[in-house]
Structure 1
Amino acid sequence: MSSPGARGRPLSPNIQIYRPQLTSVLSIANRITGVILSAFAVLMVVWLIAAASGPQPFSTVQRSIGSLFGQILMLGFTFSFFMHLCGGIRHLIWDTGHGFELRSIYASGWAVVVASILLTALTWGVSIWMGVG
């Protein structure tokens, strides 16, 4: 008798029918934003060292941050911060034993996504309005 794979059937059909769920996507996103925030922390140290090193190094770093690529990175870092923060607040609520009903899980998940987008937009809007960005 031949093995199941020899007849052309998949060995694991679950892989082919699996659809990512909001909860799993947010869990993965929380880990990814944590890594992104760690990279941002390193860049923040570079910025601080440049500021302490004098006007020329600081000007170079500021020019890099002010470039289109730098601004896109800063937008990504801002979104990552708020996504990680909102996800953490969601987990703190879960730690109290609340919000485990399926409807609450999806509502809080979408709230994390919407709040992250709104807080990012608000932060950048205020920054631009104040002339910082």
Structure 2
Amino acid sequence: MKISIKKVPALYDLIYGAFALVMLIVAIVTTLPNGFSFTSVGATLMTWANHLWWLTVPGIIFHLLSYFVSQHSRLLTVGNIIGLCAFIAFILIPNYSVFALIGLVVAMLLILRGANRSHRMREESEVS
């Protein structure tokens, strides 16, 4: 699979999603000695978001660039919008990062499916 501006956001979604999952697990483990509560996990994530917000900026930029390049494909457009919303959610409401992670997975799947469909359509038009 060739790397293109359409598929780079999916790669960054995968990398950042793995990082966010590890961050969520560490936040849960960190709060376990005091007793597990969603409030304390959310507070921990909010504290960390002040220091790690800049990691979401490349994801926002990648999704914006891919969005402008892939206006012709509905799957790519929807995937980029969902990915953009997920990265903004990581900045604004990090205590709901589980939902943002789900958004990243959905965005990644839509982008990859849309890129493959776009590639197949281009090959079919070249053959005809």
TM-score over 0.5 for the pair: no
Structure with greater helix share of residues: 2
The two structures have a TM-score, normalised by structure 1, of 0.33
Specify which structure has the bigger relative contact order, considering alpha-carbon pairs within 8 angstroms and separated by 6 or more residues. 2
Which of 1 and 2 has greater Rg? 1
TM-score, structure 2 as length reference:
0.34
